[in-house]
Structure 1
Amino acid sequence: MRNTVLFILSLSLSSSAIAKNIYVSVNGNDKNSGESEKSALESLQKAADIAKPGDVVLIGGGSYSNSNTQDNGAVLSVTTSGTPDAWIIFKALPDCKPTINPIGWAGIQISASYIKVEGISIIGQNDGLTLLDALADAKNSIPNPKYNTNGIIVEGRRVKEKPHHVIISNCEIGKCPGGGITILEADYVTVEDCEVYNNAWYMRYAGSGITTLNNWAFDDAPGYHIVIQRNYVWNNKTLVPWERTGKLSDGNGILLDVTDQKRGGATNPNADAVIEEIKSVIEPAKIKVSLRPEWKGRALIANNISAYNGGSGIHTFRTKHVDIINNTTYWNGQTVGYQELFPNNCEDITILNNIIVPRPNGKVTSDSKNTNIKWDYNVYPNKQEVFSGENDLMINPEFVKVDNDLRKADFRLKKGSKIINSGTNDIPVKTDLLNKKRSESKPDRGAFEQ
């Protein structure tokens, strides 16, 4: 027995010992070893192909792209998994800003587990596209990826082993004609400290800024499985009708979509399309058909600013077990008129400490087929009777500076605001959008702690 333990320990130490840094540079060469900055690889994909558990791929500044417009193609496709104690990490070199400029279906596609992506920009081709051309392409039976490029997609639909334990941190995702960050059939995913803007304009698939769809349970452990926190999300919208309905749809800031298979119904607030449950992920002849396992995890949406999006600022659809805490939403519903922040056909949703400011003539929230919604300590400027919390405040929050580019805005509260020190710690959120420590007794409402 002792020899077996020593053998296992030896294997573990050997695995850690061979973990290495892999360097990538726009001036590199894929014939190099990638073991130092001087011998850097040129392509991100080459680095992904050789990366093993525990490896860190360090990426130099500059622009990375490729000509891959094939189905499922991406500039960086991650298919090798790390392990619980040896994640594979893709990150920017210190003081460098690597930028992926995709022309195919995705900038980064992750179909693996124990993966972290940190400090990378993905900037799409919106500046060179026109709505007229996108509308024309939407009539074609075969879609052109040029109008549907996703920024980062965690893709579980095409693989037997669903991705789980993925972290997307401190990334910039902008101007992608498809979705910004899209998470499909995955579990244990964290999206934090990102800027997600100007995405989903030209796609035919009704995307959004940050979306989870069809969460696929890795396990039933308690605690948060999905975490979306400290993100700036703005001006994501759809301008091309959804191919299913021929109508504009979604373009939300943050959307948690369809974790509860038992709750039937439409796929969006307009109630104009019904989803078909996915029973198999690839060819039935190759893999036995199986229903998606029930997702019993919990999700946290906290400390985000979501503004000027075409759909809602934040909403959940056919979803259970979500805490929506200390977010600020502002003037959303710009294209399809959705409410600012709302659950739709959901169960066990807690909505606390949010500042919710609808656009002129817009609505704060809505309630359709929901059960067990806890709503309190929220702030909104106009009277609404959909959900009523004993400790709600109906006042103008008075932000320091409003701007439709969140990099220029300041959504902190002005001095003397009645909102300061007025929140609850029923579900404590320890820090704010800037990672500033929150009060343990009387936290502020909204994304910032003053």
Structure 2
Amino acid sequence: MLMLMTMMHIGLDDTDSPRTGCTTYIAALLVEKLHRLGASFIDYPNLIRLNPNVPWKTRGNGALCLRIRCGEELVEEITETVIETIEENADLSYAGTDPGVVFFFNNIPGELKDFAKRTIQSVVKMKEALKLINIFGAEAVGFKTGRGIIGGLAAIGETLGEDHTYEIIAYRTRENRGTPRRIEGSSIDEMNEKTAPLTFNNIDPEKGRILITPRGPDPILYGIRGETPEVVKQAHELIRPQETVERWVIFRTNHGTDAHLRRISSIGEVQPFNPVVVRGAVTKNPQVIPGGHVIFPIKDETGQVDCAAYEPTGALREVAKKLIVGDFVEACGGVRPASSRHPITINMEKIRVLKLAPKIAFHNPACPQCGKRMKSMGTRKGFRCERCGFRSSKLKKVAVERKRDLKKGLYIASPRSQRHLTKPFCRYGREKSSVPRELIKDWHFP
């Protein structure tokens, strides 16, 4: 008897809270459960980071999609398994946790891909998600407000058909969660030396801080990001954990792709919460405010906006301090809305210096008789030479162009303060334009 097969996309989001949980962990549990039920995966689990600037985001603002083929007779059991697993593992008692799961069948339409892009680059509303779910006959289940339905649908729609990366995530056993993570530090250095730059953001070079281990109470022991499933698995095998790894999974993701940044044509288009790329001229010299943050405004013919390089951005902050009036730059980052304390501001992740204004210094003139630098006799009183006594009320200060301690080019926040979506330097030139044809043999455990 011929078995009818169904393509099924399962999107889920908003299951964690600041105190516990992780949506990737629920996805990892489901990988094991769905395999046991007889489903076959047509892609690695997709980990889709959404707009990191929305005020109601989850901890990492990551949504998940599992793409499988299964017999039609398994659809109901798979659906029940997914819902039960979310109920058992989501932090439903936390006020801001509102899980949602979406079940979508067959190929992904263009309208859903467009919705996913908007969810990554701007702010979308629940009614948009529900309308698409209704139009295309998908199924959705929400817990509490069900806000996670938005992210779940977006994860389904983002098929990662263009640039993408991979992350292998290893998870802790329940008894170890909430305790300090135990990994042999030298193995992380060794892994980085052997696999970078095909793996990235393992260690912050400025501070020496390890970046593969989170610091919160979530179940992740470590996560390693890289260009291929093979290299992240190789990196994983080089790590020597000093506690038991419960499970691990390779995800395909939009980490490190700049997928959130949208180029806009003018400053007048800047909108709160949207990640943007916009050009403008610096109109005031940068100010260092309490906390060590650097603020400067840029302007074009449509308006003006403040740009901020916060203290943790490290190298980016040092670049911002060197800007002067007249420099022409491209600011990249999320837009913080105006408040009673500050105007609308771009929180910079990157800056591209496109044009450097001349830096002019004014010096007292040289004495025309002996060549020594003259002294001012006071405002509008002229100059006097201390060596030979020559005086003049007609000589003026001389303009001299000084060398800039800044070059044109792209500058990015230090790795320790980069967002999940920020593309690091080592990824430029490694962008992808196609999806993997098949999965590697062992991409998860168990």
* TM band (smaller chain): under 0.3
- RCO greater where, 1 or 2, for CA within 8 Å and sep 6 or more? 2
Larger radius of gyration: 2
| Structure with the largest fraction of helix | 2
**TM-score normalized by the length of structure 1:** 0.22
What is the TM-score normalised by the length of structure 2?
0.22
